[in-house]
Amino acid sequence: MSINIPLEKMTLADKLEAMELLWADISKQPADLPSPEWHKEVLDERRRLAAEGKLKFIDWDIAIADLRRELRGDSAT
């Protein structure tokens, strides 16, 4: 299958939204996504830091909204 996407006509926000849609579809089958060993090491470290209360978390929807505002050039968060 050949796909022609007009990347040169897309805004950065459009491209990021397309990436989000692609990733959402790809990630529906996690068994098809091989993960290198270093991913496990990073996740293990983050779990350790979370257990020690050394990480700050933000709601995913809030994080995405903040990133979209930043891309649009809005300064208020």
- Measure the CA angle with vertex 20, ends 18 and 25; round to 5°: 100
Q: Can you tell me which residue has the tokens 């050949």?
A: 2
Identify whether the C-beta of residue 58 lies closer than 8 Å to the C-beta of residue 52: no
Per-residue pLDDT of 31-71, as tens digits, reads: 888 889 999 999 999 999 999 999 989 999 999 999 999 99
Neighbours of 34 (CB within 10 A): 6
**Residues with Cβ < 8 Å from 35, sequence gap 6 or more?**
none
Q: Flag whether pLDDT at 77 surpasses 60.
A: no
Q: Flag whether pLDDT at 72 surpasses 80.
A: yes
What would the mean pLDDT of 17-25 be, rounded to a whole number? 94
Specify the higher pLDDT residue, 10 or 72.
Answer: 10
Rank 11-15, 31-35, 73-77 by mean pLDDT and report only the highest.
11-15
